[in-house]
């Protein structure tokens, strides 16, 4: 399974419950903030600490993929902010 955090939430699903329901299957996880108008990963509604904990304990996650699709900011600035926030979260 390749879980997309932002898309799951956009579809009214709880990514935390998905990770719990399918242990060992979240090999790759798309890190995307929700709502999609958020400035960058770590700056809105996603419970990142819970997501990372589940990915790293029961999810079987091998790769995190930073995904950012908002056209309101230059792409490289957006990616820089996402990476800085991930580093603050020790990821």
Q: What is the pLDDT along the chain (91 residues), one digit of tens a residue?
A: 899 999 999 999 999 999 999 999 999 999 999 887 777 899 998 999 999 999 999 999 999 999 877 777 888 888 899 999 999 999 9
Nearest 5°: the CA angle 48, 71, 44 is 25
> pTM of the entire structure?
0.90
For the chain, what are the domain ranges? 2-88
| Nearest in space to 66 (alpha carbons), one of 77, 82, 47, 88 | 82
Rounded-to-integer distance, Cα 16 and Cα 5, Å: 9
pLDDT at 73: 82
HSE of 14, CA atoms in CB hemisphere, 13 A: 7
């Amino acid at each position: 399974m390749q879980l997309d955090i932002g898309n799951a939430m956009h579809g009214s699903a709880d990514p935390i419950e998905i990770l719990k329901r399918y242990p060992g299957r979240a090999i790759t996880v798309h890190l995307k903030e929700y709502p999609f108008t958020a400035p960058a990963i770590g700056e809105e509604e996603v419970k990142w600490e819970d997501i990372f904990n589940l990915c790293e304990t029961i999810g079987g996650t091998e790769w995190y993929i930073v995904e950012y699709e908002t056209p309101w900011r230059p792409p490289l600035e957006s990616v820089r902010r996402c990476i800085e926030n991930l580093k603050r979260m020790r990821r």
